[in-house]
Amino acid sequence: MTSHAQSTEHALSSVIHSRSGGKHGLNVAGHQTDALPQNLKHDIFIIPSTNTFAFGSMGIIDIKEKGILLHDIMLQFNVSQISGLTGSVSGYPNFNPAIFWIQRYEIYVNGNCIDTKYPTEQFIQQQFYSGTDEQRLYVNNGMGNYSSNTQRCTLASSTSNYYVPLRTLFDETHLAVLTQRDEIQLRVYMDNLSNQVNVGSFTGTASATMNFCNAICKITRLDSQSAQQHAMQISRNPHHAFFHDLRYGTFTALSGVSQSTFVLTPVVGKVSVLFFVARASTVNSGLFNFYNGVKDFAILNSSSTNIVGGQQIPSAYALQVLNKYWCQSSYTNETGLGLTNNNAYVYCWSFSHEPVKAMSQGKMYGSYPFQGNEQLLINWNAALTANYQVDVYAFTESIVQVDATSVKKISL
C-alpha cells in the first residue's frame, strides 16, 4: 500500500466514528477488518473550470460539492498542437512538463488563502513523494515527461490531454467539505506560452490554444448520517488537521563568486523539510534542468552555527546517500553521478526523521524552528561564470482549523 493510500485510509477512519466488532457477522482475521461503514462511496469527481483557462492569464476552479472528503486534486489541460513553426529536428517542438505552465496557484477555503504553491516545488514533490519509480512514471508521462523530448514532442504534435497532480494540504488532511463554509477555490496563474515551448532549431512564433481545464478530484461521499455527525462535532468543538505549509524564497548567486550565503528571511516556522535548487535559466527547459555546480552546502543559525550535522554536506552525499532516506524514488540518481543525467540536482535536508510520511500524511515527526535569520551557505565547484537563481522551498508544521463558521490556517 502506498503512503497516499495509507493516509486516505487513516483519514477515513478518523472521520467516520462508526465502530463494529465483526463486519458482516463473520469472525475474520484482524488485518481483513476495518471500522468504515459499507455505504460510503469512493469516487472520482470531474469539475470544469469556472472561467476559460489560457496561457498568460488566471483560471479559477470552484469546488462546491458537499458531503465529501477531498483526498486530492489533479488538473486536466486539453491543449492543441504547437503550430506556427518551421523546421525539422527530432524531439522538437515540445512543451515543458505541464506543471511548469503554472506560475503559481492559490488555495482558498471560505474566502481565506490557505496556501500558495509554485511549479518547481510541485515538481520536486511529485518526484520525491509520488511513490515508486513505476508510480512516478505515470505522473511524468501524464504531464509530459521531463526526461524525454520525444515523448513531449509526440504529445505536442496533436491536441492532447495533460494531467497534473497537485500536491496540496488535501493530500495530508483529507478535508471534509460539508457546508458553504468549506467551499474551495483554486486560482491558477498560467505562464506565457513563449516560456513553455522548446523550439530547438525551428523558426517562427509558436502558437497553441488551451481548450479547457478540469479538476479531477478523488473523493469519498459521506452518507447523510456520517456527514451530519461530523458537522455536529465541528459545531461543538473546532476540528484541527496537521499539514505542511510552504515557505518560499528566491535568491541570486552572483557571477564570479565561489561561495554564496543567503539569509533565509522568508523562512519562519517549524521546518520539517527544506529543498533548494540552482538554475541558470528560468524559462523553457531551464525550468527543470538544475545546475550541477554545487560542491557542498550548509544551513547555519543566526550565530552561524551549522545545524545540519555540524559540517558542510557534500553534493554527492546529499544526492546519493541522504536522499535515499528522504525520497521514495530514484530521481536524484539522474545526475552526472548516475547512468542517465537529467540534471536532477535537487538538494534536500530533513529535520523530520520520517519526511516521506510527514509530507504524505501530515505527520509531525520533528522540525527545527526557523526565525528568518538562518542562512544557506553554498560552496560552488568553481567561480560562477554567470548569475544563477537559487530557489529555496521550506515546509513548516501548520494546522488547518475548521470551526462552526470559518476555516483558517494556524502556524505552529
What is the tens place of the pLDDT at every residue in 145-158? 999 999 999 999 99
To the nearest whole number, what is the mean pLDDT of the chain?
A: 92
Is the CB of residue 278 less than 8 Å from the CB of residue 253?
yes
The predicted structure's pLDDT at residue 16:
52
The predicted structure's pLDDT at residue 227:
87
Please report which helix (H) or strand (E) contains residue 3, including its range: helix 3-15
The predicted structure's pLDDT at residue 287:
97
DSSP helix/strand/coil, 106 = strand
Q: Residue 301 burial by CB count (10 A; 0-12/13-18/19+): exposed, middle or buried?
A: middle
What residue type is 281 in one-letter code? S
Helix axes 133-143, 119-129, angle to 10 degrees: 150
Sign of CA dihedral 36, 173, 6, 61: positive
The grid coordinates of residue 186 equal: 483554486
The predicted structure's pLDDT at residue 268:
97
Which residues of the chain register pLDDT less than 50? 17-22
**Cα angle, residue 405 at apex, residues 400 and 410 outer, rounded to 5°:** 25
Contacts of 408 (CB under 8 A, 6+ apart): 112, 114, 400, 401
Longest dimension (CA), the chain: 74
The predicted structure's pLDDT at residue 40:
80
The predicted structure's pLDDT at residue 353:
94
Instruction: State the DSSP string of 145-173.
Output: -TT-HHHHHHHHTS-EEEEEEE--HHHHH
